[in-house]
Structure 1
Amino acid sequence: MAKPNKKGPTRTVDITCAKCRTLLYKYRKGGKGALVKCFIERIVEDHTTSTCQCPGCGQVFAREMLIRGTPAYKMIGGKVHMK
């Protein structure tokens, strides 16, 4: 499988917790589909204290995994919102 584009997209989105609306990440997202995964190298600002856990309510919103050989967070459906 091909690796994600090194240059990355220029559009940034805010990723917030669906439960308490706390800002989790600012992320460079490509495409116009739903947020399924976040490649770690594309995260611009990380507002979490522990990996994949909301600092506001403590909810686990993603899982760490390798996607196409690159470290990424696989989002759990309905746990995060993208704006």
Structure 2
Amino acid sequence: MAKPNPKGPVRTVQIYCTKCKFQLLKYRKGGKGALVKCFKARIVENFTKNEGICPSCESQFARSTLIRGAPALKIVGGKVIMK
């Protein structure tokens, strides 16, 4: 399988926690669909201390996994919003 392009898209989105509205990530997202996964190579800024856990309310919003051979964060449904 092909790996995702690390430079990737130019559109940057901000990802916030649904529960406490804390900004978690800045991410270069491709396409117009829902946010299901975040490839770690495309993360511009990471505001979390522990990977996949919101530092403000301590809820888990994602888990670390490999997708198409590349490290990624698999987003838990309904835990984040993007703007």
Q: TM-score, normalised by structure 2?
A: 0.97
Query: Unpaired runs of 5+ in structure 1?
Result: none
Secondary structure of 2:48's match?
A: coil
Query: Unpaired runs of 5+ in structure 2?
Result: none
Q: Residue deviations 1:24-77, cap 9 Å, x none?
A: 000000000000000001000000011100011000000100000000000000
Counterparts of 2:2 and 2:15, CA distance in 1: 25
AA aligned to 1:41 is A
User: How many residues get paired?
Assistant: 83
Q: Which residue does the alignment assign to 2:47?
A: 47
RMSD: 0.6
Identical amino acids, percent of aligned pairs: 65
Q: Where in structure 1 do 4 or more consecutive aligned residues deviate above 6 Å?
A: none
Q: Which residue does the alignment assign to 1:9?
A: 9
